[in-house]
Amino acid sequence: MSVGSLRFVVNPPRGALGWWILLPVGGAALAALWWSAVGTELSLSGLINGLPWIADFLGRMLPPNFAFMEKLIKPAVETIQIAIWGTLLGIVLALPVCFFAARNLSPHAAIFHGLRQVLNVMRGINEIILALIFVAAVGLGPFAGVLAIAIHGAGMLGKFFAEAIEEIDEGPLDALRAAGAGTLQRIVFGVLPQVLPAWVGVVLYRFETNIRVSTVLGMVGAGGIGFELISSMKLFAYEDTAACVLMILILVLGADLVSSKLRAMIR
Amino acid sequence: MIEIRGLSKSYGDYPALKNVSLSIRPGEFVVILGPSGAGKSTLLRCINRLNEPSAGEVVVDGTPFSSNRRDLRLLRRSVAMIFQQHNLVKRLSVLKNVLVGRMADLSPLLTSLQLFPEADVKIALHCLEQVALAHKARSRADALSGGEQQRVGIARALAQQPKIMLADEPVASLDPKTSRTVLGYLKSSSKESNIAVLCNLHQIDYALEFGERIVGLSGGELVYDGPPSGVSRDVVRRIYPGLDDPNVLDAAQRLHERRGRGTAEPVIQRAEGGA
One pLDDT digit (tens) per residue for chain A, 267 residues: 677 888 888 888 888 888 888 999 999 999 999 999 999 988 888 889 889 888 888 888 888 888 787 888 888 888 899 999 999 999 999 999 999 999 888 888 899 999 999 999 999 998 899 999 998 988 888 899 999 999 999 999 999 999 999 999 999 999 999 998 988 999 999 999 999 989 998 999 899 899 889 888 888 888 778 888 888 888 888 888 888 888 889 988 998 898 888 888 876
Q: What is the mean pLDDT of residues B169-189?
A: 91
CA B44/CA B49 separation, integer angstroms? 8
Mutation for testing the A interface, residue in B103, B109, B115, B164 having most A CBs under 10 Å: B103
Would B54 be classed as within a structural domain? yes
What distance in Å separates residue B8's CA from the closest CA in chain A? 20
Rounded-to-integer distance, Cα B70 and Cα A77, Å? 55
**Rounded average pLDDT over B172-179:** 89
pLDDT computed for residue A165 by the predictor = 94
The whole-number average pLDDT for the span B13-18 is 87
> Nearest-CA neighbor of B164 among B52, B54, B32, B56?
B32
Residue B9 located in a structural domain:
yes
Helix or strand holding residue A3 (H, E): strand A2-3
Contacts for A92 with CB less than 8 Å, ≥ 6 apart:
none
Residue B270 lies in a domain: no
CB contact, 8 Å: A180 with chain B?
yes
In which domain, by residue range, is B255 found? 2-260
Report helix, strand or coil for A20.
helix
Q: What is the CATH number for B171?
A: 3.40.50.300
Average pLDDT over residues B106-131: 92
Q: Is residue B78 part of a domain?
A: yes
* Interface subset of A 147-176, CB within 8 angstroms of B: 169, 171-172, 174-176
3-class DSSP state for residue B5?
Answer: strand
Task: Tell me if B267 is assigned to some domain.
Answer: no
Q: Answer whether A222's CB lies under 8 Å from A148's CB.
A: yes
B100 and A184 within 8 Å at the Cβ level: the answer is: no
Q: Which pLDDT score is estimated for B101? A: 93
| Per-residue pLDDT, B263 | 46
What is the C-alpha to C-alpha distance for residues B260 and B76, in angstroms, rounded to an integer?
37
- ipTM confidence: 0.84
Taking contacts as CB-CB distances below 8 angstroms, the residues of chain A near B100 are 175-176, 179, 181, 189
Q: Does A185 touch chain B (CB under 8 A)?
A: yes
Rg (CA), chain B: 19
Q: Does the CA dihedral A17-A19-A21-A27 come out positive or negative?
A: negative
Q: With respect to residue B273, please indicate whether it lies within any of the assigned structural domains.
A: no
Whether residue A191 contacts residue A105, with contact meaning beta carbons closer than 8 Å, is answered with: yes
Q: Of the candidates B48, B92, B54, which has an alpha carbon nearest to the alpha carbon of residue B220?
A: B54
Reported as a single tens digit per residue, the pLDDT across B199-211 is 999 988 899 889 9
Strand partners, B104: none
pTM: 0.79
Cα of A267 to nearest chain B Cα, Å: 10
Q: Is residue B271 part of a domain?
A: no
Inside any domain, residue B266: no
User: Which residue would you say has higher pLDDT here, B271 or B88?
Assistant: B88
pLDDT at site A267 = 63
Mean pLDDT of chain B: 87
Contacts of B80 in chain A (CB under 8 A): 178-179
pLDDT, position B260: 57
B224 Rama class: left (phi>0) / alpha (psi -120 to 50) / beta = beta
Chain A hits for B91, Cβ within 8 Å: 193-194, 196-197
Question: Total domain count for chain B?
Answer: 1
Report pLDDT for B256.
78
Please check the confidence at residue B73 and state whether its pLDDT lies above 90. no
Residue of A nearest to B87 (CA): A172
Beta strands (DSSP E) in chain B are 2-11, 14-24, 29-33, 55-60, 63-64, 79-82, 164-168, 196-200, 213-218, 221-226
Closest CB to A179: pick one of B76, B96, B112: B76
